[in-house]
Amino acid sequence: MSASFTSSLLSSSFSPLCDPERRFSAILKAPKLRKSKLSFAKTPIVNMNELYMKNGNLIQTDIQIEKRAVIDGDDDDFMDAISKLYVITEAVTDRAEMHANVAEQRNSWNNLLVNSINAITLTATTMAGLSAISTGTAPGMALKVSSTILYSAATGLLLLVNKIQPSQLAEEQRNATRLFRQLYTLIQTTLALRKPTPTDVEDAMERVLALDKAYPLPLLPGMLDKFPTTVEPARWWPSFNLRRQKLHPLPARDEKNGWSGKLEEEMRGILEILRRNDIAEYVRLSKLVLQVNKIFSVSGPLLTGLAALGTSFIGSDSRGSWAMLIGIIGGALASIVNTVQHGGQVGMVFEMYRNCGGFYRLLEESIESNLQEREPSKRDNGELFEMKMTLELGRSLQELRNLAAATSSVEEFAGKLF
């Protein structure tokens, strides 16, 4: 029945075309179209993938961006740059999703290992106390051996966890996810505002490689040193000086390009405050947290190791009481240290402070590279650059100018976001 209905519908729809007389009369009665002198530039619709965050999960959706530029068939460099930027965009999208998945995985590692080590340690402590009560019996001997084995296992797990610092690994991947999403937005903005050039492609490639180096995905080998001898702010961007030599994103609007002597003095004042207060403070906090983390990393395995040694001597005539005290108290203290260190995510706090220092170091280099450029036409537009600084530092324009004017006496931090 459906087939007959479909065939009748098709025959009724195309019947004017099948009847020669009706077709000829339709052609004669058709109105004549006037030739229009208007010409329209070809406007290609480019499909791109954008990342959004919803409830901590990355969602990939397709959007269409209209490129408001005329594409000439002979502009091979332009087409080649667009193709390469799309390839980089796909890689950036994939990197962001990978880092988000790894961050969730390593955060689960941290929670699982903290709870498991605490359960093992407290179980061993309980067994050590029970074995001291039933000394000399078969159950007491079994409890003592089991307690020693559990303490030894806790010591090995603590050494592993303190080496890799899962909470710090998770924070690294969260930062990488955010920065890759930021890079995606930058490439999207470049494609929307102007024709991309080969220098844009090279700059995007350098940014991707810098992020890969700053936040590696592999655990072993390639993991960042969790206890560095020298604490420096995190760095995830290529050198500004090299980029400025080859890349000038937007043409200058006028001869001064939005810059004035007053704006240059304002930026120098902000630069001094960033160096003296913000960057120095976050480096100091990073060093402090790193020292605390080192103490915890040594204390945890040391306490469980002593507890394992103590439980092995429970039941001996001369050392039985001391061995019991060491076995029970050492296990209790080890549980506290493990909870504070990994439950409190001290490694994540260190990475957070290091990343905040890197954020202000990025602003410092951005201001420095603009001020070192003698020709205003080769700088970023002054008005836009000032607005960008106010947004990055969480201030209004007037607050930023007042802060820069009181550079010599102010002890306030330049940034209000961190």
pLDDT-based confidence at residue 242 (cuts at 50, 70, 90): low
How many domains, the chain? 1
Task: State the alpha helices, DSSP H only, in 194-278.
Answer: 198-214, 240-246, 261-273
**Cα distances (Å, whole numbers) of residue 372 to 241, 264, 323:** 9, 11, 67
Query: Would the pLDDT of 89 be above 90?
Result: yes
> What number of other Cβ atoms are within 10 A of residue 193's Cβ?
12
In a domain, 276, yes or no: yes
In a domain, 86, yes or no: no
Which tens digit of pLDDT belongs to each residue from 320-362?
A: 678 888 889 999 999 999 999 999 999 999 999 999 999 999 9
In a domain, 16, yes or no: no
Which domain covers residue 343, as residue numbers?
A: 96-216+247-405
Query: Would the pLDDT of 51 be above 80?
Result: no
Token digits of residue 358: 């890197």
The pLDDT value recorded for residue 101 is 96
In a domain, 42, yes or no: no
Q: Which of 42-51, 212-221, 350-359, 367-376 has the highest mean pLDDT?
A: 350-359
The pLDDT value recorded for residue 241 is 64
In a domain, 280, yes or no: yes
In a domain, 57, yes or no: no
In a domain, 8, yes or no: no
Lowest mean pLDDT among 56-70, 158-172, 217-231: 56-70
End-to-end CA distance of the chain: 71
In a domain, 410, yes or no: no
Which tens digit of pLDDT belongs to each residue from 97-136?
A: 999 999 999 999 999 999 999 999 999 999 988 887 776 6
The pLDDT value recorded for residue 406 is 79
> Measuring CA to CA, which residue among 159, 191, 184, 74 is closest to residue 342?
159
pTM over 0.85: no
